[in-house]
Amino acid sequence: MAEIIEFSGAVLTGPKDERRGLWSIDGRLTFVRPAAVPNVVLDGWVLPGLVDAHCHVGLGPGGAVDGETARRQATADRNAGTLVIRDAGSASDTRWLQHRPDMPRIIRAGRHIARQRRYIRGLAEEVEPDGLVEAVRKQARSGDGWVKIVGDWIDRAAGDLGPSFPAAMVKDAVAAAHDEGARVTAHCFAEETIDDMLDADIDCIEHATGLLARHIPRLLDQGVPIVPTLINIATFPDIAKQAEAKFPRYAAHMTALWERRHERVSEAFEAGVRIYAGTDAGSVIKHGRIGEEILELHRAGLPPAAALDAACWSARDWLGQDGISEGASADVVLYAEDPRVSLDVVLKPQRIVLRGTCQETASIRNKLKLQVI
């Protein structure tokens, strides 16, 4: 007998598209009313499961974590409504989580690639410039179509942010990834790093705190999106405070980048640059915070529907993931109110359905509008 879920509320198939009448039959969505009586009826505003476009399942402050910790991380993301994760580098092999039906869909990028002694210890594959191309090819073959390069970090000799690799090497590395059929994204804090990455034909910019007016036409012309990770950028003042005595230039630079974070995102959005929501969970940022990132994008100037879109319909399209459409996997999140109007509800999913299965979570178990037939 088929397992049927009826969604009785409004269904948002896009930021401006609303319809009624949606069912899940054996884990697949349909707009055609089934002849059989549904097993379960769920009320609420229905959206495609959210996307965290910069997340690190399997990563902790010192590098790889054990399997149970990785599972808890992914569960926290799922319980927040994140049903698609674009991994942005992990020291753990999380392929085993991809086979679990109760876990979010994870699009892996292999391991970060960083300059030797120029990144957080234990997190990345560390190489010198002459090893960058080979490392990129290796991670491209290990991941699911993405490679992550650490484009800049503190250069202790200079006392400030500096590029991790020479621009010519980055260009060769991006070309190598494209040759392997992978896209490349890069950690970019500093202004000049974005220039180098755009020159290299990069596919995405992470953080983009150094975004300047000169970068915006190039981002548009080259179709390069940014993932601002604003809840992570909120840590910059503490980083600057810790570094100020020994590296005052670096501390001042990080503070200045933090001060303009909202302004830069707003300028990019107004110009038409594509923006996606990512929490940078893992290491120092806790998992399950996609709602906070959506709200932070709104504070940076994105209208509610656009901030939501950055973690929903457009983000799914970008990553090749189905939204709410005929025959798509039943991966949806329900809210008590229309999140385009009451954006704060993204912090409190009412119900989560993943692969056609209702997910019980401690935070929502007693707050369900659920009718069992």
State the Cα–Cα distance between residues 148 and 146, nearest whole angstrom: 7
Q: What was the pLDDT predicted at 141?
A: 97
Q: What was the pLDDT predicted at 283?
A: 84
* Three-state SS annotation for the chain: CCCEEEECCCEEEECCEEECCEEEECCEEECCCCCCCCCEEECCEEEECEEEEEECCCEECCEECCHHHHHHHHHHHHHCCEEEEEECCCCCCCHHHHHCCCCCEEECCCCCEEECCCCCCCCCEEECHHHHHHHHHHHHHHCCCEEEEECEEEECCCCEEEECCCHHHHHHHHHHHHHCCCEEEEEECCHHHHHHHHHCCCCEEEECCCCCCCHHHHHHHHCCCEECCHHHHCCHHHHHHHHCCCCHHHHHHHHHHHHCHHHHHHHHHHHCCCECCCCCEECCECCCCHHHHHHHHHHCCCCHHHHHHCCCHHHHHHCCCCCCCCCCECCEEEECCCCCCCHHHHHCCCEEEECCEEECCCCCCCCCCEEEC
Q: What was the pLDDT predicted at 360?
A: 73
Q: What was the pLDDT predicted at 179?
A: 98
pTM (two decimals): 0.95
Percent of the chain residues topping a pLDDT of 90: 95
Tell whether the model's pLDDT for residue 370 goes beyond 90: no
Structure tokens at 258: 């933090």
Span 226-255, average pLDDT: 98
Confidence class for position 365, pLDDT limits 50, 70, 90: very low
Q: What was the pLDDT predicted at 286?
A: 97
Span 65-77, average pLDDT: 98
pLDDT in tens, 289-332: 999 999 999 999 999 999 999 999 999 999 999 999 999 999 99
The residue behind tokens 């190598």 is 176
Q: What was the pLDDT predicted at 326?
A: 98
pLDDT in tens, 330-364: 999 999 999 999 999 999 999 999 999 999 764 45
Q: What angle do CA 332, 59, 62 make, to 5 degrees?
A: 160
pLDDT in tens, 81-113: 999 999 999 999 999 999 999 999 999 999 999
Structure tokens at 55: 């997340």
Percent of the chain residues topping a pLDDT of 70: 96
Q: What was the pLDDT predicted at 1?
A: 65
pLDDT in tens, 157-200: 999 999 999 999 999 999 999 999 999 999 999 999 999 999 99
Q: What was the pLDDT predicted at 369?
A: 39
State the Cα–Cα distance between residues 121 and 22, nearest whole angstrom: 48
Mean pLDDT value across the chain: 95
State the Cα–Cα distance between residues 174 and 18, nearest whole angstrom: 40
pLDDT in tens, 19-31: 999 999 999 999 9
Phi, psi of 54 (to 5 degrees): -150, 95
